[in-house]
Amino acid sequence: MNIPQLHRRALLKAIPGGLAALLLPLPATAIPRRTIVLQQSPLAGFQFYRGEQLFPRLRIGMPLQLVREAHNRHDPRAVAVHVLGEKIGFVPRADNAAIAQMLDRGERLSARIIELQTTRNPWQRVKFEVVIDG
């Protein structure tokens, strides 16, 4: 059955969005992002880097950058922690093996501050978590 040209145009105009609605892809269904917490750790070496100077600017939830330091002479599994473009410490040596391996494999990891304390003990000043982004 052949539909006259006029009726086809009227049909396309009647569709919300016109012809464009038929040609554009449907929006992707929102897939919820899953994050898996790998570990929560105190920040090591806080007192030796820019941590003390930056402490007043730190906030809970602030993102941190994990920087692999494979050539670190003290620890071949070293993972530095940076914030605001400055090194503020390291993932503790006792906790860095899995993080170092994952970063070496190119896994997408992120970190954020989860606790801040104004204490004299540098191991208690900043606590952070590392998550797998997925």
Q: pLDDT, tens digit, for every residue of 90-128?
A: 999 999 999 999 999 999 999 999 999 998 898 899 999
Q: Return the pLDDT at 125.
A: 93
Q: Return the pLDDT at 10.
A: 63
Is residue 18 one of the residues assigned to a domain?
Answer: no
Q: How far apart are the first and last CA of the chain?
A: 51
* Whole-prediction pTM: 0.73
- Alpha-carbon gap, residue 57 to 78, rounded angstroms: 25
Q: Return the pLDDT at 79.
A: 98
Is residue 94 one of the residues assigned to a domain?
Answer: yes
Is residue 23 one of the residues assigned to a domain?
Answer: no
- Alpha-carbon gap, residue 128 to 40, rounded angstroms: 6
Q: Return the pLDDT at 4.
A: 52
Q: List the CATH number of the domain containing 61.
A: 3.30.70.2330
Count of beta carbons in the 10 Å neighbourhood of residue 77: 19
Is residue 62 one of the residues assigned to a domain?
Answer: yes
Is residue 81 one of the residues assigned to a domain?
Answer: yes
Q: Return the pLDDT at 50.
A: 87
Count of structural domains within the chain: 1
Is residue 5 one of the residues assigned to a domain?
Answer: no
Q: Which domain holds residue 86?
A: 35-133
Is residue 30 one of the residues assigned to a domain?
Answer: no
pLDDT < 50 positions in the chain: none
Is residue 16 one of the residues assigned to a domain?
Answer: no
